[in-house]
C-alpha cells in the first residue's frame, strides 16, 4: 500500500467515523421531524444532558412537541435549551441523588416560576422520600392561578406532616373543586393544606371571588 493510498484511506475512515458518531448521537425519534440545523442544535443539548446524567427523553419530547406544533426551528431549539436549563437547576436544587422523575417534575416547578430555594427546602425537609408527586402538584397549583409563594408554603406545610402521595393528589383535587366552585385559588389552597395537616377542621371552603390568572 502506497503512502498516498494509506493517507486517503485514513481520511475516509475518519470521516466515516465522525458521521457514524453523529448518527449515533442523534435521537432516531427526531430524524425527519426537525430540519438539519435544528436537529444539530437539539442533539447538542441532548448530548450535554446525557453527559451530565440528566434525563434526555423530556428534551426529545419538547423538540417533538414543537415539531408537531409546526414551531420554527429557532423556537424549538430555544425551548429545548430552556428545558435543559430547568433540568440542571432542578438537579442542583434537589441534589445529585434525585431521581429522573424528581428532576423532571422539579424542572416543571422552576419553569412555572417557583424559586429554586423552594426545591432546596423541600429536599432538606424530606431527604429520603420521593418529591415527584409533591412537585407535580406544586406546578399544578401555580398553573391554576395560586400565587407561587402561597402554593410553595402549602406544599411545604403538607410535606412536613409526613403526607403521602395520595394526600398531595387529594389536595390538588380539592383545590381544583374549590376553584371551580368560585373560591379564590389562594384561599382554597391554604385552607385545604391546613385541613390536611389537621390545623383546621376540614370545612368546605366558602366561595370567594375567583382570582384570574395573570
Residues that bind other proteins (CB under 8 A): 29, 55, 57-58, 60-62, 64-71, 75, 79, 82-83, 100-101, 104-105, 108, 111-112, 132-133, 136-137, 139-140, 142-144, 169, 172-173, 176
Q: How far is the CB of 18 from other proteins (least distance, A)?
A: 28
For other proteins, the closer of residues 28 and 198 by Cβ is 28
For other proteins, the closer of residues 12 and 143 by Cβ is 143
199: left (phi over 0), alpha (psi -120 to 50) or beta: alpha
Show the CA angle centred on residue 194, arms to residues 189 and 195, nearest 5°. Answer: 100
For other proteins, the closer of residues 80 and 190 by Cβ is 80
Q: How far is the CB of 102 from other proteins (least distance, A)?
A: 9
For other proteins, the closer of residues 69 and 212 by Cβ is 69
Taken in order 58, 145, 167, 120, the sign of the CA dihedral is: positive
Distance (Å, whole) CA 60 – CA 67: 11
Distance (Å, whole) CA 92 – CA 191: 32
Amino acid at each position: 500500500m502506497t503512502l498516498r493510498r494509506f493517507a486517503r484511506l485514513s481520511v475516509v475512515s475518519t470521516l466515516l467515523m465522525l458521521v457514524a458518531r453523529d448518527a449515533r448521537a442523534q435521537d432516531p425519534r427526531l430524524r425527519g421531524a426537525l430540519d438539519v440545523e435544528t436537529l444539530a442544535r437539539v442533539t447538542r443539548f441532548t448530548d450535554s444532558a446525557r453527559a451530565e446524567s440528566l434525563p434526555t427523553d423530556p428534551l426529545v419530547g419538547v423538540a417533538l412537541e414543537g415539531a408537531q406544533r409546526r414551531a420554527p426551528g429557532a423556537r424549538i431549539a430555544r425551548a429545548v435549551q430552556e428545558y435543559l436549563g430547568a433540568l440542571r437547576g432542578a438537579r442542583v436544587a434537589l441534589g445529585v441523588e434525585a431521581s429522573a422523575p424528581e428532576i423532571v417534575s422539579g424542572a416543571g416547578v422552576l419553569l412555572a416560576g417557583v424559586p429554586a430555594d423552594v426545591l432546596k427546602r423541600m429536599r432538606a425537609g424530606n431527604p429520603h422520600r420521593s418529591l415527584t408527586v409533591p412537585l407535580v402538584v406544586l406546578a399544578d397549583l401555580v398553573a391554576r392561578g395560586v400565587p407561587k409563594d402561597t402554593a410553595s408554603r402549602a406544599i411545604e406545610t403538607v410535606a412536613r406532616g409526613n403526607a403521602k402521595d395520595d394526600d398531595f393528589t387529594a389536595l390538588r383535587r380539592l383545590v381544583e373543586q374549590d376553584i371551580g366552585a368560585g373560591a379564590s385559588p389562594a384561599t382554597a389552597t391554604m385552607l385545604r393544606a391546613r385541613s390536611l395537616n389537621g390545623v383546621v377542621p376540614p370545612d368546605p371552603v366558602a366561595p370567594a371571588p375567583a382570582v384570574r390568572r395573570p
